[in-house]
Amino acid sequence: MRQGGTTVRHLLYRADFRRLLGTRLLSQFGDGVFQAALAGTVLFNPQRAADPVAVAAGFAVLLLPYSLVGPFAGVWLDRWSRRQVLLHANVVRAALVAVVAALIVGGVGGTLFYTAGLAVFSVNRFVLSALSAALPHTTEAPSLVSANAMSTTSGAVATVIGGGVALGLLNLVGAGNAGYGALALASAVPYLSAAAVVTGFARFHLGPDLPTRSVRLSARDVVAGMVAGARHVWALRPPRAALTAITLHRLLYGVLTLMTMLLYRNTFIGRTSSFFPGGLVGLGEVIAAGAVGTLLAAVVTPWAVRRTGKRRWVVVLLAGGGVAQLLLGLPFAPPTIVLAGLVLGFMAQGVKICVDTTLQETVGDDYRGRVFSVYDTLFNVSYVVALLVAAFLLPPSGISYAALVAVGVGYLLTAALYARIS
């Protein structure tokens, strides 16, 4: 992987890049373990049951509240030491997952369960925004494509590996409230390890660049900061186009997510094939295939961007992804769904690498925390909106030819729109 004369080997020569990468990998490994525990509890726990609307509502409860206040958090990311944010956030997450684990073991559901889960997800998104805003402080500007390709991709793969480890542990602890509670508690270990790694940074090594400003803010200061960040990004065509593309992608991705969950929960559940089973293990195969696609995107994207530029590569990814979903998804068979997951992982990660790099290259450091929080909000809100709409449109089986065609065409239109406005 090489970009602007910089290889992965050269990136890894920098101790600060390695330390930030280690923080990300441990943090996102813990995310994988926790998310597997939560998904198993809600979707595949024999002691609980959920229909499509309930599943989508669960996502909405967990993601929307934080997404609506995320831009406010970005104001503090541009004033607080990002090293301190990463340190304290990981410690807080470790404590919160212990609470969630206790609720799962106790069979507690409803508002209390989702509120505890919301707290964990809120801190997770705060951590990811801080990691993205901090990355330019650990590498040179010509290396950002390669640095993003390596850090975000390896982080995504770490999440998948964490989920895989959780599935392996499930064979030991057993399915049910006690087993899934134990998995949730296990995620505290990598979170605390991430906190330990980030202590190796000096307090303001990761920014912001102007740490002397007061961290005490009034509500008016927060709103003014948000407005300034929104104006800053809207005035710049590349980040505006990038945020538009990623938002539309997440809308379509949300429909595919719920469709896949329903297929493996209700349609493929009785399959006994050793290669393409149903249920949680089969869904894990799709996620693993997506991780392979993510890795491939990390290898190919820096090379492709060097030859075609970020703009053309994003157009190729979106258009190719739309065609692939139509060709591979319409049979609604496990082998082709797994392959579609691989292609989707490749496309999604390639687009994200380009979007992240565009924002880091074109947005000033004093605005970067706010912009990445706005980005994170759009990322989550569009996803949840798609899940909620799909919950009412998709049948319980997950098989809908009309919906899949709409998604494929939607990706083609997104590619055309991005090409025009960028």
- pLDDT of amino acid 7: 63
- pLDDT of amino acid 3: 42
- pLDDT of amino acid 71: 61
Query: The tokens of 168 are what?
Result: 């392996």
Measured distance CA(116)–CA(138) in Å, rounded? 34
Predicted confidence (pLDDT) per residue in 264-312, tens digit: 888 998 776 778 888 778 888 998 899 899 999 989 999 999 999 999 9
Measured distance CA(217)–CA(77) in Å, rounded? 12
Q: Into how many domains does the chain fold?
A: 1
Parallel, antiparallel or unpaired: strands 2-3 and 6-7: antiparallel
Query: The tokens of 327 are what?
Result: 């060709």
Q: Does residue 89 contact residue 123 with C-beta atoms inside 8 Å?
A: yes
Q: Would residue 222 count as lying in a domain?
A: no
* Structural domain harbouring 416: 2-200+234-421
Whichever domain contains 18, its CATH number is 1.20.1250.20
| Helix, strand, coil percentages in the chain from 3-state DSSP, rounded to 5 | 80, 0, 15
Measured distance CA(107)–CA(176) in Å, rounded? 9
Q: What is the pTM of this model?
A: 0.76
What is the Cα 295 distance to its own chain's centre? 15
- pLDDT of amino acid 2: 47
Q: Would residue 362 count as lying in a domain?
A: yes
- pLDDT of amino acid 72: 64
Nearest CA to 343 among 421, 286, 402?
286
∠ Cα 333 339 342 (to 5°): 145
Measured distance CA(31)–CA(10) in Å, rounded? 28
Q: Would residue 417 count as lying in a domain?
A: yes
Q: Would residue 139 count as lying in a domain?
A: yes
The total number of residues shown for the chain amounts to: 422
Q: Would residue 309 count as lying in a domain?
A: yes
What is the Cα 151 distance to its own chain's centre? 13
Q: Would residue 220 count as lying in a domain?
A: no
DSSP character for 159? H
| pLDDT < 70: residue spans in the chain | 1-8, 43-51, 58, 61-62, 65-75, 210-219, 221-223, 225-226, 272
Measured distance CA(390)–CA(80) in Å, rounded? 39
Predicted confidence (pLDDT) per residue in 27-49, tens digit: 999 999 998 888 777 766 555 55
- pLDDT of amino acid 149: 87
Q: Would residue 261 count as lying in a domain?
A: yes
- pLDDT of amino acid 28: 96
- pLDDT of amino acid 173: 86
Query: How many Å is the maximal CA-CA distance in the chain?
Result: 62
Q: Would residue 356 count as lying in a domain?
A: yes
